[in-house]
Amino acid sequence: MKEKEREKERASVVKAMLRVVVTSPDGKVLSDTGEKESKSYVIQFLEFFYGLFYATVNVNATATDGAERNIYTLTAMLNLHFIYNYGVGQDIGGIQVGTGDTPVTNDDWKLATKIAHGSGAQQLMYGAMVIGTVAIVAGNVDLETKRTFTNSSGATITVKECGAVVVLNVSPQCHMIIRDVLGTPVPVPHNCSVTIYYTFRTTV
């Protein structure tokens, strides 16, 4: 079989499925993108797994401040690595949203313009990360993660990008592992909420 034919075969993929849902204060769904495949793991994702699998060297990766910082440290406890389950108001890690729309590249290391937590102008209230449990659903293995952001700023905020950031809590050092620019910007009116779902999925 020629290489091009092989490339057409179905490949096993750890997909990240992205869904963006906007709801009103009374829970009415104002918009829902439906589940779409995220386009963009960035290089830091594989750099972490390189460290984990190789288990021989500390591994640096570009952090969200642009500096090269450890994403994997041999002798740091496991539960200090790859932290994603951040709580209310903690915009340092977990799912983040932004207003930038610069195209995604393999080596992106931060959102173009992150929306900070808060109720001021151009800020959103970050809810707690919700992380599901791995389950086989309709022939897939799914792990759902999500976060809700509430707009208390007094004006509509338009979300144009989102991503996932993990933290090595030995400073801390923050690394983006996924970044997506939304195909269509998503307006979030005052007092409304937007929930970003990233569902990690494998399928044999």
Span of 7-15, 21-29, 155-163, 188-196 interacting with another protein by CB under 8 A? 7-15
Cα angle 188, 38, 42; round to 5: 110
* Residue the block writes with tokens 């569902």: 199
**Residues 83, 18 contacting (CB under 8 angstroms):** no
Distance separating alpha carbons of residues 78 and 72, to the nearest angstrom: 9
Residue from 7, 26, 34, 155 that binds another protein (CB under 8 A)?
7
Q: Which residues pair with 202 in a beta bridge?
A: 141
User: How many residues touch another protein (CB under 8 A)?
Assistant: 67
Write each residue from 60 to 99 as x if it is in contact with another protein (CB under 8 A), else as -, in one continuous string.
Answer: ------------xxxxxxxxxxxxxx--------------
Span of 104-112, 117-125, 148-156, 182-190 interacting with another protein by CB under 8 A? 104-112
Q: Which two tokens stand for residue 83?
A: 């932290």
134 exposure class (CB count in 10 Å sphere: 0-12, 13-18, 19+): exposed
Nearer to another protein by Cβ, of 15 and 69: the residue is 15
N-terminal to C-terminal alpha carbon distance within the chain:
21
Distance separating alpha carbons of residues 70 and 79, to the nearest angstrom: 15
Q: Does 174 bind another protein (CB under 8 A)?
A: no
Q: Does 59 bind another protein (CB under 8 A)?
A: yes
Nearer to another protein by Cβ, of 133 and 184: the residue is 133
Binding site for another protein (CB under 8 A): 1, 3, 6-7, 9-16, 37-43, 45-47, 49-56, 59, 72-85, 104-108, 131-134, 136, 139-143, 145, 166, 179, 200, 202-204
